[in-house]
Amino acid sequence: MFDQLTGNEQVKKLLRRMLETRRVPGALLFSGEEGIGKKLFALELARALNCRTRQNSEACGKCGICQRTLVLNYPESRDPETLERIIWSNHPDVGMVVAPGRVLKVDQMRAIEREANYRPFEGAARFFIVDDADKLNEPSANALLKVLEEPPPTSHLILVTSRPAMLLPTIRSRCQAIRFSPLTADEIEKHLLANKLAKPAEARLRARAAGGSLARALTGDLETFQERRNAMLQVLSALAISGDRSRLLRLAEEMNDANHKDDYELALEILETLIRDALMISLGVDAKHLVNADLADQLAKVGDRIDSTRAISWISQIEEVREQLLVNINRKPATDSLFLSMASA
């Protein structure tokens, strides 16, 4: 049942309407920040399509089909060869593929095409999730196109990604896109407390430091996150307020310090959320809807100095660098170039 999932009430309404009208598309694209529950929503949709004792078009959540659908049988070995296979749940009609390395493979897409053409073994529909769909390269994307162009009536595909812009236009155009919002700090805090995952003081801190991601709230290193967020707030202030380019270059050097190399992509992701929040404040959005609601006062100062054109340009430039990380770019000159280019935008 969708009510058991945290946040994204508008997405829940949309999926319920699809189920009620029996118009679930053959191909969906779930996009949004990492760790906000996109795969859980996908599995819940699979349960609703196959459950035999549905309640108001939603899964009952109690029957054997519902219970088995949620159990994905990840291989014990993380060897790339084992990850190239479809990861089936305990329900024979529900499976997922993950990238065994930097890219999703052609053979994985061919396996989906082959399996999608079989009739359901047990349920009403076969259901395939492509995780981190932004890792499709041109050959694997073209292999997936075959099934996206004419999905069998009893099969559904959901592509899950935090970077929809990295997908080929031909892939995006064949999927109905559903955008997931970052979770609010209040939603994350309530989830942690309701499930007894943290004590009140820690839950509040984790919710504020999670950047809208429930996964980060559960597993993240709070000290590291807060340190990186503070550094990225300094970058944003230098870009929007002081215009101090020498300061930007010093911050770029710190960002590429050996002690921070594992946090590089996290830092870029945090910078994007700070930019979005500053833009939302400038547009009059209530602070409670921000990812970084605890920084509303500082971000308001940035919001006073930027407009939507500039903010969108900055986010696009950051995304370009994140895409280039897949091909092992030299991060130091790339960061220098990024910050200086953003300062000129």
- Residue 197 domain-assigned (yes or no): no
Model's pTM, two decimal places? 0.74
What number of other Cβ atoms are within 10 A of residue 208's Cβ?
A: 20
Number of domains in the chain: 2
Q: What pLDDT score does 310 carry?
A: 93
Question: In which domain, by residue range, is 232 found?
Answer: 221-344
Looking at the structure, do residues 170 and 251 belong to the same domain, yes or no?
Answer: no
- Residue 71 domain-assigned (yes or no): yes
Residue closest to 292 by CA, chosen among 271, 318, 322, 312: 271
Contact 130, 119 (CB under 8 A): no
Looking at the structure, do residues 15 and 150 belong to the same domain, yes or no?
Answer: yes
- Residue 207 domain-assigned (yes or no): no
Kindly report the CATH number assigned to the domain that includes residue 240. Answer: 1.20.272.10
* pLDDT by position in tens, the chain (length 345): 888 999 999 999 999 999 999 899 999 999 998 889 999 999 999 999 999 898 888 999 889 999 999 988 888 777 777 788 899 999 999 999 999 888 999 999 999 999 999 999 988 899 999 999 999 999 999 999 988 988 888 999 999 999 898 899 999 999 999 999 988 888 999 999 998 988 887 888 788 777 788 888 888 677 788 888 899 999 999 999 988 999 999 999 988 887 777 788 888 988 998 999 999 999 998 877 777 888 889 999 999 999 999 999 999 999 989 888 877 788 899 999 999 999 987
Cα 308 → chain centroid: 23
Looking at the structure, do residues 165 and 91 belong to the same domain, yes or no?
Answer: yes
Looking at the structure, do residues 11 and 64 belong to the same domain, yes or no?
Answer: yes
Both tokens assigned to 64: 């054997």
Beta-carbon contacts of 169 under 8 Å, excluding residues fewer than 6 positions away, are: none
